[in-house]
Amino acid sequence: MEQNERQLVSLLSEITPLYDVPMREAKARQDALAKPPGSLGLLEDLSVQLAGITGQVKNEVSHTRIYVLAADNGVVCEGVSSAPQSVTRAQAINLTRGLTGASCLAKHFGDELVVADMGIALPYACPEILNRSLGKGTANIAAVCRELDCKMMYISTDYVFNGQGETPWDPDCKDYQPLNVYGQSKLGGELAVSGALEKYFIVRIAWVFGLNGSNFIKTMLQLGRTHDKLRVVCDQIGTPTYTLDLARLLVDMIESDKYGYYHATNEGGYISWYDFACEIFRQAGLPVQVDAVTTAEYGASKAARPFNSRLDKSKLAENGFTPLPEWKDALSRYLRELGDNQ
């Protein structure tokens, strides 16, 4: 193992839980100050957390380091970004040269400013930028797993393929043709894991929905309460993945030694986004007219979208894993979960 990897493992082993008593005392002190509770926002949370780290109620920060995480996340491809990807690269470089407002403020207050590449799409020549893009970050985790003889689970996507045709993608297919930056970054992670380890699970999923974050179901429900008619594409085909069902499968996987590539989405047959929307409104009891349109007719997205998100999941049963429940059942349970958490 390289020296920096040994140091990382050593540092991780020294991490201890936060000190509970100082955190409670720091919170009580915050509430006793002559100010409205919570009026300082995240600063109050940070002071409590700092007390948990140091074990002291009162702390002073003599030196601060500002991290700027620079990345292209595909938003520009959707036509909703104010600037092209070349601006991400230029701004990252300018930050290291002291040519931005953030740089000037950091210099004025004596703070150290560090720029990290978390996924800048365009190439650059600037050694001052830390390279921490997804592929390399995943490779670092894989290296530690190899040294510690650990299993590694990596969640990926059908976007590593070109999304064409009608044949379901085999989990062991190596005909990679990522559609966009997201697909490229996930493929980089896949290759980093499979190239470094033997004990790994690479699980590709699609059309994900769960309680946290945004998803297609939440969007449809929101639109269905304000619209009586919607257009939804009918030529992009796949199957949804309910995170609760997926989590149970992943636990079963990680406890086994059936390593390799897998595909995991809910059962119930391949459907279109149009089919999914119709079932969402049916189960939710919303009287919305859904019109089927092609991707070309819809015309809103500038990013390449896969027409074929069909994933062959037969390898799950072949290796003794229980396939995920049917997607209609998953949708029903999810809608109940949403109702219970509102």
User: Which residues carry out catalysis?
Assistant: 182
Beta strands 260-263; 200-205: pairing state: parallel
Quick one: how far is CA 148 from the chain centroid?
25
Cα distance between residue 275 and residue 234, in whole Å: 7
Q: Where are the beta strands (DSSP E) in the chain?
A: 65-71, 112-119, 130-131, 152-157, 200-205, 208-209, 229-233, 237-238, 241-242, 260-263, 271-272, 289-293
Question: Are the C-beta atoms of 245 and 325 separated by less than 8 Å?
Answer: yes
Q: In whole angstroms, how far apart are CA 1 and each of 198, 200, 211?
A: 17, 19, 40
DSSP bridge partners of 155: 203
Element (H, E) at 13: helix 3-13
Concatenating the DSSP letter of every residue in 252-319 gives: HHHTS---EEEE---BS--EEHHHHHHHHHHHHT---EEEEE-HHHH----S---SB--B--HHHHHT
Contact 253, 321 (CB under 8 A): yes
Q: Which of 190, 191, 214 is nearest to 203 (CA)?
A: 190
Per DSSP, the residues of 92-109 read HHHHHTT-SHHHHHHHHT
Instruction: For the chain, state the CA radius of gyration.
Output: 24
For residue 21, the number of C-alpha atoms closer than 13 Å in the C-beta half-sphere is 2
Q: How many CB atoms lie within 10 A of CB 295?
A: 15
**Which among 152, 164, 63, 163 is positioned nearest to 111, based on CA atoms?**
63
